[in-house]
Each structure stands twice: as C-alpha cells, then as structure tokens.
Amino acid sequence: MRKQILICTAVLMVTSPLAFAAGNPADYNGDGRISREEFQNQAARAAFSADKNKDGSIDDSEMKLTAEQRKAIDTNGDGSVSVEELQGGQMDGFAALDKNGDGFLDPNEMKGGN
C-alpha cells in the first residue's frame, strides 16, 4: 500500500494535465523523458512549494492527505510530514515508475504503462 501511495504522489507531480499541456515542466532539457535528476529537482520544487507557511512540514491546510497517505509518507513516525519526507516519497515513486530501470521516465511510464 505504501508503494501505491508513493507512486500516486509521484504520478500526480509529473503527469498533471498542466504538465503535459506545457510539455512537462520537469523535462528541463526537452528530450521527452524525465531523468532521475530532473525528477528530483521537480520533487524538491513541489515539496517546498507545498509548504506554504515555510515551517518545514506539510499540514492539512497545505496539502490534503488521507491518514493512510500521511502515515506512508511520515517515515520517521513523528505524526508530521516534513518537506524532506514528501520529497523522499516522490523519489520512491520515481523508482516504482521507472519500469525498465534505465533512470528515465518515458511518456509511457509517466502514464503508468510498462
């Protein structure tokens, strides 16, 4: 279940309709694939962006997470999701999405295909 939640978080970050409409902003070099580095940069941007009050943690007013999602992302078990934990969860999602293990997400992988 944790893996599914992390994949969903990652997919939402890179496959939103806005991202596809804009040529996917995570694809910095425009090659049609997202490298691990590009994904990590986008994950950091998204995580820090989610922390609206800049207190280092993501609360319900900043991002709606179910109790199950919050528990899966809260890796240190302190009951709070930090910016770092959110980013880490997104990076776990990258590994799960990269089906062929080449270090890149191609358009098919970004849509959840093989």
Give the model confidence (pLDDT) of 2-23 as tens digits.
555 554 555 455 444 344 434 6
Using an 8 Å Cβ cutoff, are 72 and 1 in contact?
A: yes
Q: Which domain holds residue 59?
A: 2-110
**Which candidate, 93, 13, 91, places its Cα nearest to that of 50?**
13
What tens digit of pLDDT does each residue of 40-69 get?
888 888 889 999 999 999 998 998 888 888
What tens digit of pLDDT does each residue of 80-94 get?
999 999 888 888 888
Amino acid 88: pLDDT:
87
Amino acid 114: pLDDT:
66
Total domains, the chain: 1
> Can you tell me the mean pLDDT for 23-35?
84
Pairing of strands 81-82, 34-35: unpaired
Provide the mean pLDDT of the chain: 81
